[in-house]
Structure 1
Amino acid sequence: MAVREQGPDPQIVLRYVGAYPAATQEQVRRLVVENRLAEYLQRKYPGTHDVQTDGALYEYALDLKQAHLRSSGPLHKVIWQNKMDVMQKVLGLNTAISRVQGGRLKAKAEIRIASLFKRTAPEFLEMVVVHELAHLRERDHDKAFYQLCRHMMPDYHQVEFDLRLLMLNEEIGSRP
């Protein structure tokens, strides 16, 4: 009699890597079944960052903006957000708050980053901040948007994929 492998519901894996080729999905499923996903992530992303306050996060985002998006409008607020539903893939928000001042309409750009990223590797924080900063110039997730993300962070796509693995790891309950 064959022994059946245990593992998470296949739909959970597909939720995070369903758009990738079948071979990639199988590799991820194998990491999960063999309980090696957390180890893989820890080995690949061993470090942590020290960006823990709203002020430090604002400075971090402003430094990235100055390095890559000087001509974009000003960034007014960047804060950690405790109540984001990271399991529904809300990792950061970029909003423009419009206010009437005098007879003029003014928009203030605000970025909110899920507090989950306080305890992740610096690459994940950078990827999410780069993603939200790219929205200052490109509103839609189109080719120009992802080109801008790659301009700011050349390994953007790999880190985004690994972030999907981190989120999968969080959902199945083992932490790296």
Structure 2
Amino acid sequence: MTALRFLQAYPPALLDQVRHLIAEDRLGDYLAQRYPSRHEVQSDKALYAYTMALKQEHLRNAPGIDKVLYDNRLDVVQRALGLHTAVSRMHGGKLKAKKEIRVASLFKDAAPEFLKMIVVHELAHLKEFEHNKAFYKLCEHMLPGYHQLEFDLRLYLTWRELQGGRSDS
């Protein structure tokens, strides 16, 4: 039986369907058919602009973001696909907080839908810190179909793991 560590919270019947796709070596084909293209947001500067456009569209009143970048140190093993941080420093006798969003580098080669899902997820943390009902409602508001994309992203991560980390499909 295939261990599906990225999909553990899903119902057994759904996991059986995924195992069936894996057993028939069709998971990669399913993903390639559903998400055939790759996005063009390749630099940190482009990722910052992309993130700020989404923020402006959906979260105008949320706190500002000082830095957005791809981070090759974020590890899927530790379940960090994206990261939002607030770095506080003393500056001229005042405490300054800088907000950062880091996106795992593996998303440079992913479908545009997956990149958007990760960015929306991290942006939602500007308003809702916990993964609660309000958080997921905000994600769904910013990106209709968010839950399906999160599931498909988990399928993509499972497929990558089965391929030994390669993403050529």
- Using the size of structure 1 for normalisation, the TM-score is 0.91
1:108 aligns with 2:103: no
- Corresponding letter in the other structure for 1:94: H
1:130 equivalent in alignment to 2:108: no
- Aligned match of 2:147 in 151, 157, 160? 157
Q: Is the 8 A contact 1:130 1:153 kept in 2?
A: yes
Larger radius of gyration: 1
- Structure with more helix by fraction: 1
Take 1:100 and 1:80, find their aligned partners in 2: how far apart are those partners?
A: 26
Partners of 2:63 and 2:93 in 1: how far apart? 20
1:73 to 2:63 alignment: yes
Q: CA deviation at 1:89?
A: 1.8
Alignment-derived partner of residue 62 in structure 1: 52
Give the letter for the 1:105 counterpart: L
- Number of equivalent positions: 166
Indicate the residue corresponding to 1:170 in structure 2. Answer: 160
| Percent identity for Structure 1 against Structure 2 | 55
Alpha-carbon separation, structure 1, partners of 2:8 and 2:52:
34
Superposed displacement of residue 17, structure 1: 1.8
Length-normalised TM-score, structure 2: 0.95
Q: CA deviation at 1:100?
A: 1.3
Q: CA deviation at 1:105?
A: 1.2
- Structure 2 CA distance for aligned equivalents of residues 17 and 110 of structure 1: 28
Q: C-alpha deviations, 1:78-125, integer Å up to 9, x for none?
A: 000012111332101100010112232111110000010000100000
Q: What is the distance in 1 between the residues matched to 2:76 and 2:145?
A: 22
Shift of 1:128: 0.3
Gap regions ≥5 residues in structure 2? none
Query: How do 1:10-159 residues align onto structure 2 when only pairs under 5 Å count?
Result: 10=2, 12-13=3-4, 15-159=5-149
One-letter amino acid of the counterpart of residue 172, structure 1: L
**Gaps in structure 1 of 5+ consecutive residues:** 1-8
Query: Bigger CA drift: 152-161 or 101-110?
Result: 101-110
